[in-house]
């Protein structure tokens, strides 16, 4: 999708479809008060073109609600699309992000390939121009993605061009910079989504490593992709225990970003779970919905997407990303419940922690254990991991909010601030010795499950064992990594959740920020 920035008066923009935003300005007059949809543009021609339909009460300005007008009088665009942000008091920059995606997804099946989106020009205090421009472009890219890659008669319905129509008084350089940034972030989220969407026979650990390497080489990142011998050399017994049941070899993917002139300050370690297909191993999953376990590498894909954005946006902070990729398969060589594995030691001369494997389907924490340790060995001073780790997090938070855990309040405060920019929803969950006690083993140092109750928390405490005192955040994205039903602004399928939030967390450490 080609992105343009326009400061032309919006009635003069000749395009197939002009999208404008609206809010419901209804006062809180009680349950029976009528909605009052109000356009967030002040141009008289556009207001006049929409006045008739707004007066009917047919359109209410609800979140992502749309209404289409053909051949609007006084406007050069062939169509005028009104997209709602919902109640005025609740409208945010993220509302604009979703509305932009809604406009794109409205246009795609109708054969519309070129559209313009008008930024608000009369609501700028709570919707600042630059933030809205960036979010709109991000949302447009997210909306343009469809998962039907392998349909034999697939029709490409992608939008060819999107013009962001900004008010004349908005700073041209600021808007153009925000639009360019939004394109990078939106494309990077879609890069992650494309990886997640690939079926297990098309995206093995080796192929995932190849995709990461090609991206890194193209954009100037440092990279390494290792396999079985390196796992053995590094004594990554936890990681290898998951991979040993598959005919497909594992991939240890390492991506490095080292900005020129930055030789001190924090080193951020991004660690992603990259299970390219998860059967559960010997503790095999039920067959229902197992096909979705191709997305068990969504945390790893998110980290690769973040590194793509970092390479292009160039924050002033050093970053290392580690993705531990493997298949979790049942076979004669697979690990068994009751096995004891030895995780990677923090230093070669030290012993690694021993793990009693209670359930082979709790494999993500095993690969992350060695990934976190390796990141620390490579010098990471701050850690963040992302994984489709537990079904328990969905039981706790549903499919609406993802889980976040942290052992350091300052690191989490940065992440919480990042959410205000990314618009993604995470909820901080507890940690504590009482939960850590549940994963103590009678035969080894720890066991890989702590029972049915508090499963997301005991999984996080397992990872905490390997992060130790290093400032660390764990993101359990299992409930949000896959969109179960198509929404107005995003297709059913991979979401790319956490890419934007992790990126903003990384950027908060850029030179000049407090570590």
pLDDT at 402: 98
pLDDT value at 28 more than 80: no
Say whether both 208 and 118 belong to one domain: no
pLDDT at 387: 98
Q: How many domains, in total, are found in the chain?
A: 2
Q: Considering the chain, what percentage of its residues have pLDDT values greater than 70? A: 97
> In this structure, are residues 185 and 503 in contact, taking their beta carbons and an 8 Å threshold?
yes
- Structural domain contains residue 400: yes
Mean pLDDT along residues 64-68: 98
pLDDT at 153: 87
Q: Is 365 an annotated catalytic residue?
A: yes
- How many Å apart are CA 435 and CA 403, to the nearest integer? 16
Say whether both 200 and 262 belong to one domain: yes
pLDDT value at 391 more than 90: yes
pLDDT at 309: 98
- Structural domain contains residue 178: no
Q: Exactly one of 365, 376, 414, 447 is catalytic; which is it?
A: 365
End residue of a domain, out of 138, 168, 198? 168
Sign of CA dihedral 302, 135, 1, 314: negative
Between 129-144 and 172-197, two packed helices, what is the crossing angle to 10 degrees? 30
Task: Tell me the residue range of the domain where 441 lies.
Answer: 190-507
Return the CATH number at 460: 3.40.630.10
pLDDT tens by residue, 77-93? 999 999 999 999 999 99
- Structural domain contains residue 512: no
- How many Å apart are CA 142 and CA 148, to the nearest integer? 15
pLDDT value at 513 more than 70: no
pLDDT at 514: 45
DSSP state of 432: -
Return the CATH number at 70: 3.40.220.10
End residue of a domain, out of 135, 168, 201? 168
Q: Which has the closest alpha carbon to 166: 125, 132, 126? A: 132
Adjacent-strand bridge partners of 21? 83
pLDDT at 300: 98
Say whether both 71 and 197 belong to one domain: no
Local structure of 18: helix, strand or coil: strand
> In this structure, are residues 96 and 135 in contact, taking their beta carbons and an 8 Å threshold?
yes
- How many Å apart are CA 197 and CA 109, to the nearest integer? 21
Mean pLDDT along residues 492-512: 95
Say whether both 198 and 164 belong to one domain: no
pLDDT value at 168 more than 90: no
Say whether both 387 and 459 belong to one domain: yes
pLDDT at 515: 41
* Tokens representing residue 430 in the block: 């507890």
Q: Exactly one of 114, 285, 425, 487 is catalytic; which is it?
A: 285
- Structural domain contains residue 177: no
pLDDT at 156: 86
The CB density around residue 128, as the number of other CB atoms within 10 Å, is 16
* Tokens representing residue 250 in the block: 């594992």
- Structural domain contains residue 496: yes
pLDDT at 29: 52
> In this structure, are residues 46 and 165 in contact, taking their beta carbons and an 8 Å threshold?
no
- Structural domain contains residue 237: yes
- Structural domain contains residue 461: yes
End residue of a domain, out of 168, 198, 221? 168
Say whether both 162 and 194 belong to one domain: no
pLDDT tens by residue, 124-145? 567 889 999 999 999 999 999 9
Say whether both 141 and 201 belong to one domain: no
Say whether both 41 and 158 belong to one domain: yes
Say whether both 152 and 194 belong to one domain: no
Q: Is 285 an annotated catalytic residue?
A: yes
pLDDT value at 187 more than 60: yes
pLDDT tens by residue, 315-364? 999 999 999 999 999 999 999 999 999 999 999 999 999 999 999 999 99
Say whether both 245 and 357 belong to one domain: yes
Say whether both 326 and 398 belong to one domain: yes
């Amino acid at each position: 999708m080609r992105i343009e920035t326009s400061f032309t008066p919006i009635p003069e923009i000749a395009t197939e479809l002009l999208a404008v935003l609206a809010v419901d300005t209804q006062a809180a007059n009680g349950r029976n008060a009528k909605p009052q949809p109000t356009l967030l543009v002040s141009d008289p021609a556009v207001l006049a073109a929409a006045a008739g339909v707004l007066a009917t009460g047919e359109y209410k300005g609800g979140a992502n609600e749309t209404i289409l007008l053909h051949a609007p009088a006084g406007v050069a665009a062939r169509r005028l699309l009104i997209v709602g942000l919902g109640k005025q008091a609740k409208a945010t920059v993220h509302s604009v992000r979703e509305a932009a995606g809604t406009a794109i997804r409205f246009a795609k099946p109708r054969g519309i390939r070129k559209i313009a989106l008008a930024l608000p020009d009369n609501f700028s205090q709570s919707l600042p121009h630059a933030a809205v421009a960036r979010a709109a472009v991000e949302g447009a890219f997210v909306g343009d993605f469809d998962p039907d890659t392998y349909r034999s008669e697939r029709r490409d319905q992608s939008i060819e061009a999107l013009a962001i129509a900004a008010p004349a008084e908005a700073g041209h350089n600021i808007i153009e910079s925000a639009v360019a940034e939004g394109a990078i972030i939106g494309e990077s989220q879609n890069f992650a989504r494309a990886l997640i969407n690939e079926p297990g026979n098309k995206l093995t650990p080796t192929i995932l490593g190849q995709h990461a390497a090609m991206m890194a080489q193209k954009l100037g990142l440092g990279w390494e992709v290792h396999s079985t011998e390196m796992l053995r050399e590094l004594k990554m017994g936890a990681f290898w225990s998951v991979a040993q049941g598959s005919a497909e070899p594992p991939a240890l993917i390492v991506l490095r970003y080292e900005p020129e002139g930055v030789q001190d300050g924090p080193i951020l370690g991004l660690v992603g779970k990259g299970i390219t297909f998860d059967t559960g191993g010997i503790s095999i999953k039920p067959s229902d919905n197992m096909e979705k376990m191709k997305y068990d590498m969504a945390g790893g894909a998110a980290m690769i997407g973040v590194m793509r954005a970092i390479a292009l946006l160039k924050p002033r902070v050093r970053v290392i990303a580690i993705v531990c990729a493997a298949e979790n398969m049942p076979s004669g060589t697979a690990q068994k419940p009751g096995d004891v594995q030895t995780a990677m030691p923090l230093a070669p001369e030290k012993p690694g922690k021993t793990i009693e494997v209670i359930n082979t389907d709790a494999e993500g924490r095993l690969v992350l254990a060695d990934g976190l340790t390796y990141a620390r060995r490579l010098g990471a001073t701050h850690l963040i991991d992302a994984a489709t780790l537990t079904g328990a997090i969905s039981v706790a938070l549903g499919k609406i909010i993802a889980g976040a855990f942290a052992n350091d309040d300052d690191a989490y405060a940065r992440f919480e601030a990042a959410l205000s920019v990314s618009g993604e929803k995470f909820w901080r969950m507890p940690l504590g010795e009482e939960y850590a006690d549940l994963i103590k083993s009678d035969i080894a140092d720890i066991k890989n499950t702590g029972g049915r109750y508090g499963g997301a928390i005991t999984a996080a405490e397992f990872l905490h064992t390997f992060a130790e005192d290093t400032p660390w955040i764990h993101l359990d994205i299992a409930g949000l990594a896959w969109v179960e039903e198509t929404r107005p602004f995003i297709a059913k399928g991979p979401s790319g959740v956490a890419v934007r939030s992790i990126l903003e967390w990384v950027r908060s450490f850029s030179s000049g920020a407090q570590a």
